[in-house]
């Protein structure tokens, strides 16, 4: 049975409950912004609840999104993004963890500090919002030599995503309608004893993808000394070189020009320039939110014509669709290791 769609205003007051739904499609990400698209009969009362309203929230069960667009033709369509999209509407000034008091000792502490800079402790008084609060700690371990910095002002979402990605963690911004609060939390996954494969009859449409289109094993970035130069005579920049933890040589060495103006930002760009080597599978047996959650680690197995591959994968997102004649879900998985041919 399809769950109702509910519409709330930005003060978190319920405006409408929609029972008659054509389709809904959600993408929810572990450490990124997800999407929502809902289709309804053109005569549905949800149209009146949303039309002319610039700010509104959509929920379906535990899933939540900010409404961003409407289309009315032969049917009524709502487009949105998951609630953490609001993090992209705040920014964080340049900082170094070594200069903060107290000094953050892990990525979770950086993410929570950055969230405060965006909302509760924003340097612009009009941007502060006391209804945006921190949730429970996930408990990432401290590292005495932990360091993270941004040399320029960045979007709050970018700072949080980059800090947590390096730690294998994720985040969410969720609404507590009873308390009328917007709660930011760092999240982590579990190691699950699940092997997804068609042989085990818990997966179908298994698919293997590989490419090296955007792969790099080394790169150059333009470094500008932070304290050098004056307004009249700008500091001269210099080009610096860095490699991955598995450097290559000769024809196997792929270089790129890295974004960022310091080592931290360039290292993040190089870390993202990886080869694609993934196994995807649609689940038959397991249900999101019951049997697995975002961030959990499973094994995905691909077998075809004598070729078999297993991958230890983190569930970094899930596509959930509901319709009158078809409903289902598909996890989005990211390889955590190169895997072995089996």
CA distance linking residue 22 with residue 234, whole number of Å: 59
Query: Which SS3 state, helix, strand or coil, does residue 142 take?
Result: coil
For 83-113, how does the pLDDT look when each residue is reduced to its tens digit (9 = 90+)?
Answer: 999 999 999 999 999 999 999 999 999 999 9
Are the beta carbons of 299 and 313 closer than 8 angstroms? Answer: yes
Q: At what angle do helices 156-167 and 263-272 cross, to 10 degrees?
A: 70
Give the pLDDT score at 307.
Answer: 84
So where are the chain's domains? 5-83, 90-187, 191-212+276-341, 218-272
Give the pLDDT score at 227.
Answer: 61
Q: What is each CA distance from 66 to 76, 87, 206, in whole angstroms?
A: 17, 12, 32
Q: What is the mean pLDDT of residues 136-152?
A: 92
Predicted TM-score (pTM) of this structure: 0.86
Q: Give the chain's end-to-end CA distance (angstroms, integer).
A: 40
Model confidence band, residue 340 (pLDDT cutoffs 50, 70, 90): very low
Give the pLDDT score at 229.
Answer: 53
Q: What is each CA distance from 273 to 94, 110, 148, 209, 337, in whole angstroms?
A: 24, 24, 20, 16, 15
For 175-188, how does the pLDDT look when each residue is reduced to its tens digit (9 = 90+)?
Answer: 999 999 999 999 99
For 172-220, how does the pLDDT look when each residue is reduced to its tens digit (9 = 90+)?
Answer: 999 999 999 999 999 999 999 999 999 999 988 888 888 999 999 999 9
Give the pLDDT score at 69.
Answer: 97
Are the beta carbons of 111 and 186 closer than 8 angstroms? Answer: yes
* pLDDT at 232 exceeding the cut of 70: no
For 283-332, how does the pLDDT look when each residue is reduced to its tens digit (9 = 90+)?
Answer: 788 999 999 999 999 998 888 877 888 888 899 999 999 999 888 888 88
CA distance linking residue 93 with residue 72, whole number of Å: 40
CA distance linking residue 280 with residue 293, whole number of Å: 16
């Amino acid at each position: 049975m399809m769950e109702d769609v509910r519409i709330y205003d930005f003060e978190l007051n319920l405006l409408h409950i929609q029972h008659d739904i054509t389709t809904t499609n959600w993408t929810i990400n572990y450490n990124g912004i997800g999407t929502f698209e809902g289709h309804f009969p053109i005569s549905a009362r949800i149209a009146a609840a949303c039309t002319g309203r610039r700010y509104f929230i959509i929920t379906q069960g535990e899933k939540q999104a900010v409404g961003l667009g409407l289309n009315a033709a032969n049917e009524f369509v709502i487009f949105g993004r998951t609630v953490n999209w609001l993090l992209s509407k705040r920014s964080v000034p340049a900082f170094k963890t070594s200069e903060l008091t107290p000094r953050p000792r892990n990525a979770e502490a950086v993410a929570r500090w950055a969230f405060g800079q965006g909302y509760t402790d924003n340097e612009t008084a009009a941007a502060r919002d006391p209804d945006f609060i921190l949730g429970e700690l996930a408990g990432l371990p401290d590292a005495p030599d932990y360091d993270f910095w941004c040399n320029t002002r960045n979007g709050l979402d970018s700072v949080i995503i980059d800090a947590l990605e390096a730690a294998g963690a994720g985040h969410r911004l969720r609404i507590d309608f009873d308390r009328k609060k917007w709660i930011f939390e760092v999240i982590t996954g579990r190691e699950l004893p699940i092997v997804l494969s068609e042989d085990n009859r818990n997966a179908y449409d298994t698919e293997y993808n590989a490419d090296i289109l955007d792969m790099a094993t080394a790169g150059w970035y333009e470094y500008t000394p932070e304290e050098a130069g004056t307004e009249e005579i700008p500091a001269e920049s210099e080009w610096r070189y860095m490699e991955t933890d598995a450097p290559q040589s000769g024809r196997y060495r792929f270089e790129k020009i890295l974004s960022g103006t310091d080592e931290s930002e360039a290292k993040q760009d190089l870390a993202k320039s990886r080869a694609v080597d993934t196994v995807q599978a649609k689940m038959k047996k397991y249900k999101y939110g019951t049997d697995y959650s975002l961030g959990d680690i499973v094994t995905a197995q691909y077998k075809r014509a004598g070729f078999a591959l297993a991958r230890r994968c983190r569930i970094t997102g899930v596509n959930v669709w509901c319709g009158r004649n078809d409903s289902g879900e598909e996890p989005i998985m990211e390889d955590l290791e190169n895997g072995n041919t089996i």
